[in-house]
Amino acid sequence: MAKEVYLICPVRNASAGQRREMDRYVERLEKAGVSVHYPPRDVDQTDDGVGLELNTIHREAMLQCREVHVFWDPASRGSHFDLGMAMMLRASRDLPVVLASKIESTKKRSYGNIVRAIAEPSRLTPPEGAR
C-alpha cells in the first residue's frame, strides 16, 4: 500500500531520545489520518551484507509517497542516501520535502542547510505540534 509520507530519519544509530521524538511525530501524523513509511518500523533492517536490498525497498516506498518529511541527523549515512533520492524526486516530479525536526543552519555548506533550503510547508498539513 502506498504511503502519503516517507520519513527520512536515522535508524541504525538513532539515540533513544531521537527514537521517542520520531515515534511521537509518526504517531501524530497517523492519528490525523496520514499514512507514513517509517523505516525503523516498516522495513526489516537486517544487514544483507551490501545494503542494496534495504535501499531498494526504501526507494520503492519513496517513489510511492506524496511527501518526504525529514528528521535530520547529519551523522546518519542512510539519511544522506535517502536525501539524494528525495532531491531527485523533488526535481523530477516536484515532490515536497518537509522538515520534521529542527535543523540548525551552519556557516559552511552542509546537507542540513540543503534540507532547510528545499523544505516547504506540508501539503498534508501535519497536526499541531507535529514539528
pLDDT, one tens digit per residue, over 12-49 is 899 999 999 999 999 999 999 999 999 999 988 777 77
Report pLDDT for 131.
Answer: 44
C-alpha cell at 16: 533513544
Task: Supply the pTM of this predicted model.
Answer: 0.86
Cβ proximity of 72 and 18 under 8 Å: no
Domains in the chain, ordered, with CATH? Answer: 5-118 (3.40.50)
pLDDT, one tens digit per residue, over 53-105 is 888 889 999 999 999 999 999 999 889 999 999 999 988 988 899 999 988 88
Question: Rounded to the nearest 10 degrees, how much is the dihedral formed by the CA atoms of 37, 39, 41, 47?
Answer: 150
